[in-house]
Amino acid sequence: MPRDAPTPPHGLQVSTPLVARSVWSGVLVGIGTASFIDETVFHQLLHWHHFYDKSTTSIGLVSDGLFHAFGFFAVVIGLVMVADLIRRAGLSKYG
């Protein structure tokens, strides 16, 4: 017998677009967090490499800055999506 998916509390129905939005918000926050860790540890603290190493040092620093900006925007967009999901009651606690 197949198991039925748990229903949200108070009779709310979660639509497929909200589930996809939840997944994408998690992906964006995860990618942004990983890029922050990579930028901070490997690029700034240890000076192991730049995001783009095949040119001058100044180009490497610019590429690091663009990489850092991408990570920042990924986290911000992901958190805005989470806030929208909470507002729409698309996220709820089970159990």
pTM: 0.72
Q: What is the pLDDT of residues 8-52, one digit of tens each?
A: 555 555 567 788 888 999 999 999 999 999 988 887 888 787 777
pLDDT greater than 80 at residue 85 = yes
Q: What is the pLDDT of residues 56-82, one digit of tens each?
A: 888 888 888 898 999 999 999 999 999
Residue 58 · residue 83 · CB < 8 Å? no
pLDDT band at 53 (very low <50, low <70, confident <90, very high): confident
Q: And the tokens for 62? A: 């610019």
Q: Give CA–CA dist 84/36, Å, rounded.
A: 23
The DSSP call for residue 10 is G
Residue 75 · residue 33 · CB < 8 Å? yes
Q: Give CA–CA dist 25/83, Å, rounded.
A: 10
